[in-house]
Amino acid sequence: MPELDPSTHNDLQKDHAVLCDAVREAGALALSYFRTDVKQWDKGDDDPVSEADHAVNDLLRERLQGAQPGYGWLSEETDDDAARLERDLVWVVDPIDGTRAFLKGKPHFTICVALVFNGKPVSAAVFNPATDEFFEAFAGGGARLNGEIIAPSARQEIAGCRMAAFGPMFKHPAWPEPWPEMEIIDRNSVAYRIVLVANGFVDACIALNPKNDWDLAAADLIIREAGGEMTTHSGQPLIYNKPATKHRSFVAAGPTLYAALFERVGALTLP
> Are 15 and 131 part of one and the same domain?
yes
End position of a domain, from candidates 119, 149, 179? 149
The answer to whether the Cα torsion of 197, 25, 215, 99 is positive or negative is positive
DSSP string, 9-39: HHHHHHHHHHHHHHHHHHHHHHHHHTTS---
By residue range, what is the domain housing residue 192?
Answer: 162-265
> Are 13 and 98 part of one and the same domain?
yes
Per-residue pLDDT at 8: 56
Evaluate whether residue 48 is within a structural domain.
yes
Number of Cβ within a 10 Å radius of residue 154: 12
Evaluate whether residue 102 is within a structural domain.
yes
Evaluate whether residue 223 is within a structural domain.
yes
Per-residue pLDDT at 5: 55
Per-residue pLDDT at 44: 80
End position of a domain, from candidates 149, 178, 197? 149
**Confidence (pTM):** 0.95
Per-residue pLDDT at 4: 56
Closest CA to 102 of 192, 234, 6, 11: 192
For 239-259, what is each residue's pLDDT tens digit?
999 999 999 999 999 999 999
Evaluate whether residue 178 is within a structural domain.
yes
For 195-212, what is each residue's pLDDT tens digit?
999 999 999 999 999 999
Evaluate whether residue 49 is within a structural domain.
yes
> Are 169 and 145 part of one and the same domain?
no
CA separation for the pair 71, 75 (Å, rounded): 13
Per-residue pLDDT at 43: 84
Evaluate whether residue 270 is within a structural domain.
no
CB 134 within 8 Å of CB 24: yes
Ranges of residues in the chain with a pLDDT under 70 are 1-9, 271
> Are 73 and 23 part of one and the same domain?
yes
CA separation for the pair 254, 261 (Å, rounded): 10
> Are 173 and 255 part of one and the same domain?
yes
CA separation for the pair 62, 72 (Å, rounded): 13
End position of a domain, from candidates 115, 149, 183? 149
> Are 97 and 73 part of one and the same domain?
yes
> Are 80 and 50 part of one and the same domain?
yes
CATH of the domain at 93: 3.30.540.10
Non-local (6+) Cβ contacts of 232 within 8 A are 238, 247, 248, 249, 250, 251
The number of distinct structural domains making up the chain is 2
Per-residue pLDDT at 46: 80
Per-residue pLDDT at 197: 98
Per-residue pLDDT at 41: 92
Residue 134's H or E segment, with its range, is strand 133-138
CA dihedral 126, 114, 219, 167 (to 10 degrees): 90
Per-residue pLDDT at 1: 40
The overall longest dimension of the chain from CA atoms, in Å, is 52
> Are 113 and 210 part of one and the same domain?
no
